[in-house]
Amino acid sequence: MLVLKDPGLRKLEKFIANNPLIHSTILHWTGSMWGIGCRLSSSETIARIETLKQRADKQGFIALIPDMSVLEQDKIPAPIRPLMNQYWPGNLTLVFNYDDPQFAGIKNGNKVALRVPSDPALRALISLLGEPLISTSVNVSGLMPEENYERIVRNYDSWFDFALLPSSREMKRPSEPSTIIEYIGSEESGSNDDIKCLREGSIPFYEIKQAFQLPVVMFVCSANICRSPMAEKLFRKMIREHNLGLATDSCGLLPGGRMISLESLQLLLERGIIDAEQHISKQVTPQLISSSWLILTMEERQRDLLRSAYPNNARRIWTLNEIVDEQGDIDDPFGNNLESYKKTCEIIEDRLRRLTEKLKNNELRI
């Protein structure tokens, strides 16, 4: 078994140029689980994996892709695009009708299971292969998936031609199976579009269900007592007025537990938003980031900090200014007079109106 451990992109490019892995079985770390896989186009290697696993069907094969952009966008059901934007790369597998002959060998009925893995080296490998990588757990059918690399080498070494290993630190992480969701279109169910949980893994189904029904727009500032609660409450009012299927929330970088600032409260009450007085600040958490479809900060510094802390979510994190093609920060009015708060509130309102128009016209691209 050839082994590459935590290679840089250049090393990986050089390796694939000399070893294209046409019919190779590949041990890989998705970012959460070990898997065995091969090129999607290699039907003989897929058959070999089925034999090794003593399995008679292709159920359980997932196609890993480097990014959702490799899919034909007009073939992706519109109701699940927000889930892709929110959870990819990550530990969500989506099963849905996707009309593409390259997936014919692993389809279950008319549906294919797809995921963008969180491990960046694996995504780079798939991109260099130029086609999806099929993936399934390392185990004989009916037995528990193997979660330990040393045991994989000891018990399954003969299964693999090549291994792409993550860093030593990553290899010590506990395994977490992906959550598998099936999309059921209205033409299938005879009623509304819906999703069904086929396997609940590291992402709770209730969170995905909520994101499917009402994607969350999260506003972030320093303390979650001035700018972000104003943005949250104002945007909630706007999306209700325009009947947009979204939810709103807000948080801060600093520890929570504080009331909204009196100046922000006054400005929101003047606009008829009476629930503003119930706001209690909260600090950003991984779960809040995971459960949000779009994260909008007030400052570039806050955006950069969150992108650094949550790299797999970076493409969903923007400043409120840049999401509507403006530059710079929305300054913090804390400690200033009411007039300063009014100016900040007016800027936030302007940006939110423009964001609402983008959403109404389906012009938002993240």
Residue 195 domain flag: no
Which pTM does this prediction carry?
0.89
The catalytic position among 39, 123, 227, 236 is 227
Could you read off the pLDDT of 202-246 as tens digits, one per residue? 999 999 999 999 999 999 999 999 999 999 999 999 999 999 999
Look up the CATH number of the domain holding residue 93: 3.90.870.10
Confidence of residue 272 (pLDDT cuts 50, 70, 90): very high
Confidence of residue 19 (pLDDT cuts 50, 70, 90): very high
Number of domains in the chain: 2
Active site residue 332: yes
**pLDDT value of residue 259:** 97
Do 156 and 73 reside in the same domain of the chain?
A: yes
**Of the residues 121, 154, 189, which one is the last residue of a structural domain?**
189
Do 218 and 177 reside in the same domain of the chain?
A: no
Confidence of residue 144 (pLDDT cuts 50, 70, 90): very high
**Of the residues 189, 206, 237, which one is the last residue of a structural domain?**
189
**Of the residues 174, 189, 204, which one is the last residue of a structural domain?**
189
**pLDDT value of residue 57:** 66
Do 185 and 64 reside in the same domain of the chain?
A: yes
Residue 174 domain flag: yes
Do 107 and 171 reside in the same domain of the chain?
A: yes
Could you read off the pLDDT of 66-118 as tens digits, one per residue? 999 999 999 999 999 999 999 999 999 999 999 999 999 999 888 999 999 99
The catalytic position among 38, 221, 226, 251 is 221
Whether residue 189 has pLDDT greater than 80: no
**pLDDT value of residue 59:** 65
Active site residue 38: no
**pLDDT value of residue 58:** 60
**pLDDT value of residue 192:** 85
Q: Whole-number mean pLDDT of the chain?
A: 95
Q: What residues does 179 pair with on adjacent strands? A: 92
Could you read off the pLDDT of 37-47 as tens digits, one per residue? 999 999 999 99
Residue 207 domain flag: no
**pLDDT value of residue 177:** 93
Do 87 and 15 reside in the same domain of the chain?
A: yes
Residue 277 domain flag: yes
Do 147 and 235 reside in the same domain of the chain?
A: no
Residue 316 domain flag: yes
| Domain span holding position 120 | 2-189
**pLDDT value of residue 336:** 96
Residue 262 domain flag: yes
Do 154 and 265 reside in the same domain of the chain?
A: no
The catalytic position among 6, 249, 304, 332 is 332
Active site residue 221: yes
Do 120 and 257 reside in the same domain of the chain?
A: no
Whether residue 155 has pLDDT greater than 90: yes
Whether residue 195 has pLDDT greater than 80: yes
Look up the CATH number of the domain holding residue 349: 3.40.50.2300
Do 219 and 155 reside in the same domain of the chain?
A: no
Q: Tell me the average pLDDT across 25-32.
A: 97
**pLDDT value of residue 362:** 86
Residue 200 domain flag: no
Do 47 and 116 reside in the same domain of the chain?
A: yes
Q: Tell me the average pLDDT across 239-258.
A: 97
Do 224 and 176 reside in the same domain of the chain?
A: no
Do 228 and 156 reside in the same domain of the chain?
A: no
Residue 355 domain flag: yes
